[in-house]
Amino acid sequence: MNAQDNFNYNRIAQAINYIRQNFKSQPDLDEVAEKVHLSPFHFQRLFTEWAGVSPKKFLQYISIEHAKKLLKESQVTLFEAAGETGLSGTGRLHDLFIHIEGMTPAEYKNGGRNLMINYSFAESPFGNILVASTQKGICYMAFADDEQQALQGLHHHFPNAQFRQMTDRIQQNALSVFTHNWQELNQVKLHLKGTDFQLKVWETLLKIPLGKVSTYGTIAQTIGTPHASRAVGTAIGSNPVAFLIPCHRVIRSTGVVGGYMWGNTRKTAIIGWESARVSEKLSTE
């Protein structure tokens, strides 16, 4: 991400944060534009270019009533969605991830010894991102506001692996979820380091439909451990693959967006962006 892109991203992130904190007063275009020191016209154009939807629409998508509506719908359909196959427009992403391979007990225990991991940095609609892969699939993805810190996170996750900075086909295919029609993508494979419980939670996250949200309690019920909401929360917080494993689609039962490893502003942006994509798809059908 170049300096200008980074500057624009920070401005839009500031605007999103302001909208999120002040949604109850329904701030208008002029008010938000003033907060980020842009003219309403320039702000409207820049925001729409970055987020793919107007500031007014985005405000609607991230309002608490919208979150509660999504939550209600998700609680009804999550179990049904778990058994569905095939993509419906751009409404399903999880079928691209039907193959999740956990690392062997030896690989898990020894921190990835004998693994060769390729990694690269790329731009996404939500900022710079680090993506890493083994020969079997994507093993790590993290938003990288600080590239050195992100790289340290990768090394911490696989302390004994071998690394090389290299873009491969597995990474390119995975990153195309940001820019392509998902029906045209090849299957995205994941090669994850986690306990059996973590893998089960992460696989369940993939079954939350695009444009919907769920809660920790609903995830716990889905995997057959209705009293393990806290453990589910811990597993979600340990998600090693940003965006592709959509931990951003899990919110609190009150409808509040809640925490996110890569920042609440970014989580809010992703939820709004995904809702916009579903809305745009429905409007063309």
Taking only the tens place, the pLDDT of each residue in 51-72 is 777 888 777 776 666 666 665 6
- 22: domain CATH number is 1.10.10.60
Q: Give yes or no: residues 9 and 142 share one domain.
A: no
User: 158 and 40 in one domain?
Assistant: no
The Cα–Cα gap between 46 and 52 comes to: 10
Residues involved in catalysis: 247
pLDDT band at 79; cut points 50, 70, 90: very low
Please state the domain count of the chain: 2
CATH for 98 = 1.10.10.10
What's the confidence (pLDDT) of residue 158? 93
Q: Would the pLDDT of 45 be above 80?
A: yes
Domain assignment of residue 261, given as a range: 70-275
Distant-in-sequence, close-in-space partners of 68: CB < 8 Å, separation ≥ 6: 255
* Backbone φ, ψ for residue 140 (5° rounding): -165, 140
- Whether 87 and 216 share a structural domain: yes
Instruction: Verify that 54 and 78 share a domain, yes or no.
Output: no
Q: Do both 124 and 260 map to the same domain? A: yes
Do 94 and 142 have their domain in common? yes
Q: Residue 38: is it exposed, middle or buried by C-beta count within 10 angstroms (0-12/13-18/19+)?
A: middle
Q: How far apart are CA 283 and CA 271, in angstroms?
A: 18
Question: What average pLDDT does this structure show over 127-133?
Answer: 95
